[in-house]
Amino acid sequence: MDCIFCNIAAGNADTQVIFENENYKAFLDINPVNYGHTLVIPKKHYDNFLTVPENELNGLIKLTQFLAGVIKRSLNADGFNIISNNGTSAGQSVFHSHFHIIPRFDKDFAMKPETKTYSENSMNEYAGKIRSFVTKYEDLLNAKEN
């Protein structure tokens, strides 16, 4: 198995497990942004957020919410980031879909990317471009899982 997270899911790689059941596993990130930084994965391999089937995504998000609360309380964190990097350009380095839970503290460094300013009309144009695809693909949102 080439995928490190598939190996972790199968119990074949050394890691600090936070939670595990039949479908999901959560473990400490080996290079944490803050101590307690946790990764939540489906045990089945999906390359990224877009390819996780709806039923598994629901469970993954629910578990991520639960663990975020647990991590916040257990580490006395003031907040947390939930992050999913998708694609190399977005910083994804392991191509097995996962959520990061990063505990944050008030005196923490800011992890906010530099922001841009829309030029005149371009906000309208971007929204229009995205909206036209929402309309085009809306059926996918309402499609029932079979």
Interacting residue ranges for Zn ion, rule: CB under 5 A: 3, 5-6, 45, 96
Catalytic residue among 37, 45, 96, 98: 98
Contact (Cβ atoms closer than 8 angstroms) between residue 101 and residue 38: yes
Name the residue nearer to ligand AMP (CB basis): 88 or 121. Answer: 88
Residue 92's binding partner, choosing from ligand AMP, Zn ion, none, with beta-carbon cut-off 5 to 8 A by kind?
ligand AMP
Interface residue with ligand AMP among 50, 94, 111, 127 (CB under 6 A) is: 94
Q: Under 8 Å CB-to-CB from 44, ≥6 apart: which residues?
A: 9, 23, 56
For 71, counting Cβ atoms within 10 Å of its Cβ (0-12 exposed, 13-18 middle, 19+ buried), the class is buried
Interface residue with ligand AMP among 1, 11, 12, 13 (CB under 6 A) is: 13
Residue 91's binding partner, choosing from ligand AMP, Zn ion, none, with beta-carbon cut-off 5 to 8 A by kind?
ligand AMP
98 flagged as catalytic: yes
Contact (Cβ atoms closer than 8 angstroms) between residue 24 and residue 40: yes
Residue 45's binding partner, choosing from Zn ion, ligand AMP, none, with beta-carbon cut-off 5 to 8 A by kind?
Zn ion
CA atoms within 13 A on the CB side of 119: 0
Question: Which tokens go with 57?
Answer: 């995504």
Instruction: Supply the residues annotated as catalytic.
Output: 98
